[in-house]
Amino acid sequence: MTWPHSCIRPHELLADHTSFRIGGPAEWFAEPSTLEELVDVLRAASRLGLPVSVIGGGTNTLAADRGIRGVVIHLGREFRTITDLSHPDEPMATVVCGASLLTQRLVYLAAKHGWGDLELLAGLPGQLGGAVAMNAQGIGQFVQQVSLVGFDGTVRQLTREQLRFRYRFAELEPGIVTEVILRFPKVPPAEAYERIRRALQYRNTTQEIRLPSAGCAFKNPPGTGAGRLIDQAGLKGARIGDAQISLRHANFIVNLGHATCDDVLSLMEYAQCRVHSEFNVHLEPEVRVVGEQWCR
């Protein structure tokens, strides 16, 4: 099959696009550089009956070893724009961001310009579109508006009132976030910088950042930490293949070199079973699994 779009290539290895370094090929991998190109690709995929999925920084994604059928959309660098709309005298900053903007670029600019409260996102890997889709670190509280292209190619704007954010979850219609408007209080840049510096220091001492992972494997159950339960079940260091429960943070599963998606899923199931039998608590995955094997 040939596509009229130069932004599409076949059999792109998803291991190259995920922080876990795991994943087989995407049947088609599209990196549109404009909204028009994105809409065009989505309409073509819909005509061809191909399933569509979306990946941002791939830092919360576990991709199947056998890969993903259909078209995987990865917004191009052209969606990394950021514009500050606010007047210097206003107490609040309003910024318009492209969805493939790196979340850490936003944090860097927050330290520089004095955008307050963004220390919440300090050290959070991935892109802004992915962060909004995951409501990572409660980013939803800053979101004023989201531009979203439905998988059928229709473009719409969703206002704050139309959006629902829950713990590590955003209730969005199926589609691709292309732009986000965020609003936060302004603070003196030195204060923003210091708050971000401290948040980064805390993250670096508590999280597993040396080995490939997708961050926390499970959501925290009400009133407790998933990592604490996994640790108390004696599972730190437990290993299946090259997937291991981190010795540093029990809610992180790390790839020791050649872990497969199957290894990680088996280890997640093992942790779920052990925590359930010891504490009668069900651990819900936080990491999103995409591709052929996601039926567990």
Ligand X SMILES: Cc1cc2nc3c(=O)[nH]c(=O)nc-3n(C[C@H](O)[C@H](O)[C@H](O)COP(=O)(O)OP(=O)(O)OC[C@H]3O[C@@H](n4cnc5c(N)ncnc54)[C@H](O)[C@@H]3O)c2cc1C
- Binding residues (CB under 6 A) for ligand X: these are 19, 54-61, 75, 99, 124-127, 129-131, 133-134, 136-137, 176-177, 207, 209, 213-215, 288
Q: Least CB distance from residue 88 to ligand X, whole Å? A: 30
Question: Around 56, how many Cα atoms within 13 Å sit in the side-chain half-sphere?
Answer: 27
DSSP characters for 38-77? HHHHHHHHHHHT--EEE-SS-SSEEE-TT-EEEEEE---G
At closest approach, how far in Å is the CB of 277 from ligand X?
27
For the bound state, the minimum distance from the C-beta of residue 133 to ligand X, rounded and expressed in Å, comes to 3
- Minimum CB distance to ligand X, residue 103 (Å): 6
The residue with tokens 């936060």 is 184
Q: Which residues pair with 72 in a beta bridge?
A: 29, 53
Classify residue 251 by burial, with Cβ atoms within 10 Å: 0-12, 13-18, 19+.
buried
DSSP string, 118-180: GGGGTT--SBHHHHHHHTGGGGGGGEEEEEEEETTS-EEEEEGGG-EEETTEEE--SEEEEEE
Between 99 and 109, CB nearer to ligand X: 99
Nearest to 58 by CA among 261, 219, 244, 213: 213
Cross-strand bridge partners of residue 143? 182
Task: Please identify, using beta-carbon distances, which residue of 189 and 221 lies nearer to ligand X.
Answer: 221
Give whichever of 62 and 235 is closer to ligand X, judged by the CB atom: 62
Say how far apart CA 236 and CA 239 lie, in whole Å: 9
Judged by CB, which is closer to ligand X: 60, or 293? 60
Residue whose CB is less far from ligand X, 279 or 294: 294
Whether 76 and 32 have beta carbons less than 8 Å apart is answered as: yes
Question: 90 or 173, CB closer to ligand X?
Answer: 173
Tell me the Cα Rg of the chain: 20
Q: How far apart are CA 85 and CA 144, in angstroms?
A: 13
By beta-carbon proximity to ligand X, the closer residue of 92 and 198 is: 198
CB of 294 to ligand X, least distance (A): 11
In the complex with ligand X, the residue whose CB is nearer, 207 or 266, is 207
CB 116 → ligand X: shortest distance, Å?
A: 19
CB of 285 to ligand X, least distance (A): 12
Residue with smallest beta-carbon separation from ligand X: 130
CA separation for the pair 256, 177 (Å, rounded): 33
Give me the least distance between CB of 75 and ligand X, in Å please. 6
